Structure 1
Amino acid sequence: MGNLCSSESSRPAAPPGAADGRSPGHSAQPDAVPDVGHKMRKGVSVRDVYKVGKTLGTGGFSVVKLATDKATGEHLACKIMSLPPPGKQYNENESSRADIFKEIDILMALQHENIVVMKEYFEEGNKVYLIMEMLQGGELLDAVLEKGHYSEGDARSCFLQIIQAIKYLHSRGIVHRDLKLENLLLVRKGDISHIKIADFGLARRYMGSLAMTTVCGTPQYVAPEIIKGGPASYGPECDLWSAGVILFILLGGYPPFYDESEPRLFEKIRKGRFDFNDEVWSAVSADAKDLIRNLLMVDPTKRLTVPQVLSHPWLKEGQQGGKQELLKTMTRMRNSKLQLSAIPAEAGSSGDQRGAVMEAAKSGAVLDLEEQKLAAELVEEANAS
């Protein structure tokens, strides 16, 4: 399952139950392009300053390559995106000009120990090059799976860093809108004590009197108010829901809501029904489960705020609380990742069952026996090709 995204707009927040008759994504004004020209490196090309090398990763709208500073030898990441000309109509397979400059505008304004750093950017022809810090540690979930010992205290340390970053973003009027495990990266390999939030492609500035209306995010992490049906209208509380999903996975080893059918998945999210009946939760504290319950509240007005999260008893326990190893949680995580590394990303591009199983595995979801068998077949086919 890929990201959701309709066109961007915002409008005054409506009272509960009110509707203005507009469809999601409709805007009364053209999408404004931020003026970020003063932040652009001028007078030189990106390849005058950096040696652009191997590909580090690809996304829906971008490719990330290794960039080495020719003057200092510093290794950085270069995110390359196609830049549509002004006024060009864009399709669902590319970012709009406004989206690209909104991302740049937000990244250049951020400075926090748990948020990826953007150094500068270049605009050349129909391309834009974002020079970012190089995060060598890979994804958080991979580091957790490689740890020799993983406890509730470790999960608390990870989650606290995420919440501190959300606190900073919201204090600056920015909502991430795509918080998920894949966007939590480590500065150093194996060191979960320094996590950074990355990928601000869906992030937006938020005005308190205006509600966001874009249907966007990653299906398993998206908040119910974003996919409620009818015109969407939501605020920064959506980031707290996603944080709750992340915490559930960090402590349980599987997502609170899963279905290979996106409509059925969204229905489960809208109802907000999950439980702690799985045996893995027997080793997890009551305070941790209470925090999850209060983050995964369908009604955003009843969901915990950032200050309430930070004052919750579970986060007050500090590093000494919850040292018992979460063996069953680790087993659940590993079982859902066993066939993952050998499956090429493009294997799940179609909407059939094979693609759905691959995407479920990539998202860290737990596969049943039939799905595990199909995933194994995909691995075998990939290795034979």
Structure 2
Amino acid sequence: MKDLNDNFAGFLERNENGQSRLTKSNTTGPRTSSKRFEEDSKSGRPFADFWTLGETLGEGGYACVFRARHIRSGDIYAVKDIDTAALEKNSRNALKDEIAAMKLLRGGPHIIRLLDVFEEPDHTFMVMEECRGGDLLTRITEKEVYTERECRKTCKILFQAMDYIHKKKVAHRDIKPENVLMVEPDDDHSIKICDFGFAKRVTKPLCLRTLCGTAQYVAPEVLDLQSAGYDFRADMWSVGVVVYILLGGYAPFEGPVQELARAICKGDYYFHDKYWAEISEFAKDMISSLLQVDCHKRLSAEEALQCPWM
């Protein structure tokens, strides 16, 4: 395990220090327009000719997310401003992958929609719809746990979104509650997947090699240096962790670096009676089928939608 632990330790350090994720706003205000959006960037004019930036919704690394008003229509959207001049080559390539993935997924169910992109000499501006309910992690913290009925509604939407993403041959690679946004403050079930900063096209099975994601949610095959690679099936492991948290109120894999790495790679987790005694066997069976160390035995999103618990 030495190589794995060294690799994982470096991953954790980058995860904590170099990959600061954008926070999500739960403030209310004018709604994003739902009408067909005209891409102003095609005019060749700069971003500032069309948009006025407002309050900061989140920031991290070399990017900030602002609430922005469209000058002509007055409609409100979210704009991600990336300081591309400060990015290294690998990060610029990742940004290109993120934009390409979001354009490919545009119009898909329960996925944050990318509406326009302005690529200027030192900055890239990504115009997106804005969700007003904060993120799923905040909602879980407020509720502590979801009932099975509540969780089933949320899971149906989550599985549908992942099914669409994967059928488009895209791996998200950072599924976690912080990257699941609540559409409205008073709705526990309407969600949208966001943050495609690690997204990558899957051109063939097991074609991905990069160690990325968030430590507690990353799949065993992503961590294992001896594996043949991974693909979008790694996302379904992360989905399994999210579902475990929804029903149990805590993460299945925790602890110091070495313990966390070993637990994930062995699939070493438990349904503690204190928290799981009242949860149905169907629910636990589904989670176990998602948290399969062997990715070939893991449920796909389409299969998860058809499982007995659903």
* TM-score when normalising by structure 1: 0.67
Deviation at 1:40, TM superposition (A): 4.7
Relative to structure 1, is the Cα distance of residues 61 and 262 closer, same or farther in structure 2, using a 3 angstrom cutoff?
Answer: farther
| CA distance in structure 1 between the partners assigned to 2:216 and 2:186 by the alignment | 25
1:285 paired to 2:292: no
Contact 1:49/1:69 (8 A) holds in 2: yes
| CA distance in structure 2 between the partners assigned to 1:103 and 1:156 by the alignment | 29
Contact 2:131/2:184 (8 A) holds in 1: yes
Q: Which residue of 1 aligns with 2:125?
A: 129
| CA distance in structure 2 between the partners assigned to 1:228 and 1:138 by the alignment | 33
| CA distance in structure 2 between the partners assigned to 1:56 and 1:236 by the alignment | 29
Q: Which residue of 2 aligns with 1:151?
A: 147
Q: Which residue of 2 aligns with 1:47?
A: 48
Relative to structure 1, is the Cα distance of residues 230 and 209 closer, same or farther in structure 2, using a 3 angstrom cutoff?
Answer: closer
Cα deviation code 1:109-149 (max 9, x no counterpart): 21123100111011122110000101111012323444599
Paired residue type of 1:195: I
Deviation at 1:209, TM superposition (A): 4.8
Q: Which residue of 1 aligns with 2:225?
A: 229
Contact 1:41/1:120 (8 A) holds in 2: no
Q: How many percent identity over aligned positions? A: 37
**SS of equivalent residue, structure 1 residue 166:** helix
Deviation at 1:42, TM superposition (A): 3.8
Contact 1:136/1:186 (8 A) holds in 2: yes
Cα deviation code 1:297-331 (max 9, x no counterpart): 1111111122321111000xxxxxxxxxxxxxxxx
* TM-score when normalising by structure 2: 0.83
Query: Displaced runs of 4+ in structure 1, greater than 3 A?
Result: 1-5, 38-42, 144-150
| CA distance in structure 1 between the partners assigned to 2:91 and 2:193 by the alignment | 23
Deviation at 1:153, TM superposition (A): 0.6
Contact 1:241/1:297 (8 A) holds in 2: yes
| CA distance in structure 1 between the partners assigned to 2:221 and 2:164 by the alignment | 23
| CA distance in structure 1 between the partners assigned to 2:264 and 2:145 by the alignment | 32
**SS of equivalent residue, structure 1 residue 159:** helix
| CA distance in structure 1 between the partners assigned to 2:146 and 2:281 by the alignment | 18
Contact 1:3/1:216 (8 A) holds in 2: no
290, 294, 297: which one aligns with 1:302? 297
| CA distance in structure 1 between the partners assigned to 2:200 and 2:239 by the alignment | 17
Paired residue type of 1:282: A
1:216 paired to 2:212: yes
156, 164, 167: which one aligns with 2:163? 167
Give 1 or 2 for the bigger CA radius of gyration.
1
Paired residue type of 1:81: I
Relative to structure 1, is the Cα distance of residues 68 and 284 closer, same or farther in structure 2, using a 3 angstrom cutoff?
Answer: same
Paired residue type of 1:302: K
Consecutive unaligned residues in structure 2, runs of 5 or more: 1-11, 17-38
